[in-house]
Amino acid sequence: MHSIPAFLHSEFRLNLLSFAGNGMQEPVNYIILAIPVFFLLIGMEIIFDRLRKSGYYRLNDTISNINAGIAEQVTGVFFKVVVIGAYLWVYEYVRVATIPNNIFTWVLLFIGIDFFYYWFHRLAHEVNVLWGGHVVHHQSEEYNLSVALRQGAFQKFGSFAFYLPLALLGFDPIMFIVISQWQTIYQFWIHTKVIDKLHPVAEFILNTPSHHRVHHGRNPIYIDRNHGGTLIIWDRLFGTFQEELEPVVYGITTPLETWNPIRAQIDIWRDMGKAIRKANGWKHKAGILFRQPGWYPEELGGPIRPQPVDRQSIVKFDVAIPYWLHRYVLVQFLLILSLASYFLFTFESFPAWQQGLMAGMVIYSITAVGWLLELHRNSSWMETIRQVANVAMAILLMQSKLWSLSVGGGVILLSVAGGIWFLTKQKHLRYGVE
């Protein structure tokens, strides 16, 4: 049997997360490194969409999708000790064997990761408390590559436990982290309507765009189907496979109807909390958490049943905003995306206070953009404060010598220019969303 190349052991083991006193550091994050490729492909799909006039993309929906992904990534860097550390702890102290690192066990581990992903993903659609972390990914009423980036910040707290049997069996943490990241990266390209169906052999074995379109549908025949990650064979084996037949209506049965990325993450938890407080007895309260999404006891109206949907009659959530505000939001979003990318790529090189400051600024900024897109009645104030805060943050970080003059000066210049332009225009806006 052939050994895995030595650099995979030396480089990654030197970079593995420091945990339980073993002196290891964090591994390479291939998902973050893949972000430029993701945006390149999204750009290509947008160009294709414009040339074909297919209407796959709306600016507000696309920004909302990416903002949800930004929220997940920015908050996720603070919680990786929990999700990676749990696997490492089981491997270091509880494992029953040590699986050798060779090409055959890498293949075996890939199958194991995909198998446990299927069961996590399936249960995330069948157990409400797990659905609370996963629902964010399904909220978009469109289907394009930007939807792949729409992720729930709380999902990691439900998913990591499903993979612990692999640590117990003795699969190396480095192997696990690398393969699980690539299994996630694979799922990016299947979020598209540009590709119809692949060769029948590929459609039988792999999760494809056609299969995953079904998964994102709220048509009654499509709900809770096709949970596979890379392989679709698990759905075929365990009875959850559904062929793409009728036109797909995308989204969730109760649409979110906001572009606010914070509400996208927490609305379901707020609703669960309200229902639990109103439910009679611990059995009903536990049922709201652990039964299927949409289940309510009779005193709260009983379970919600999926209703037939008609793609022609569906009215997607939208808010009409002036063309100048579209342009302004797009420019500001690209600047926020640059700040978020800088934060993710340089996170480990800065002290904790700067990490918290930049993370807070990114979260505040994407929320301000979401409010602008829906003309929230306080969005003007929120945006003005954001631009002032950008200047203050840049000055503070330059004084602390954590930002160079060019970086800080650029942020100040763009914030001042953008703030002045916005203030001269915003007086003509008609706000109203609460």
Residues near 233 by Cβ (< 8 Å), separated by ≥ 6? Answer: 204, 205
Confidence band for 13, pLDDT divided at 50, 70 and 90: very low
Distance of alpha carbon 411 from alpha carbon 409, whole angstroms? 5
Residue 141, helix vs strand vs coil: coil
> How far apart are alpha carbons 404 and 346 in whole angstroms?
14
Average the pLDDT over 201-225 and give the result: 97
Q: Output the CA torsion sign for 186, 187, 188, 190.
A: positive
Each domain of the chain, given as residue ranges in start order, spans 6-238, 261-300, 323-426
Q: Is 103 exposed, middle or buried (0-12, 13-18, 19+ CB in 10 A)?
A: exposed
**Which pLDDT score, from 0 to 100, does residue 432 have?**
61
Contact status, residue 127 vs residue 292, Cβ threshold 8 Å: yes
pLDDT, average across residues 211-219: 97
Averaged pLDDT for residues 184-190: 97
What mean pLDDT do residues 239-262 have? 96
**Nearest CA-CA partner of 66 in 365, 375, 315, 408:** 365
Contact 244, 211 (CB under 8 A): yes
Cα radius of gyration rounded to whole Å, the chain: 23
206 CB contacts (<8 Å, ≥6 apart)?
198, 230, 231, 232
Using alpha carbons, list the distances in angstroms from residue 35 to 38, 337, 363, 398, 404. 5, 11, 18, 27, 24
State the pLDDT at residue 26.
56
pLDDT exceeds 50 at position 166: yes
- Residue 8: per-residue pLDDT: 36
- The amino acid at residue 5 is P
pTM of the model: 0.90
Alpha helices (H) along 154-280: 156-159, 164-169, 173-186, 200-205, 209-215, 233-238, 261-278
pLDDT band at 208 (very low <50, low <70, confident <90, very high): very high
Q: What's the CA angle centered on 185, arms 345 and 41, to 5 degrees?
A: 80
| Residue 251: strand, helix, or coil | coil
Per-residue exposure over 110-120, b if at least 16 CB sit within 10 Å of its own CB, e if not: bebbbbbbbeb
> Poorest-confidence range of 37-51, 127-141, 226-240, 296-310?
296-310
The whole-chain average pLDDT of the chain stands at 90
Query: 337-393: per-residue pLDDT in tens?
Result: 999 999 988 888 888 888 999 999 999 999 999 999 999 989 999 999 999 999 999
What would the mean pLDDT of 165-189 be, rounded to a whole number? 95
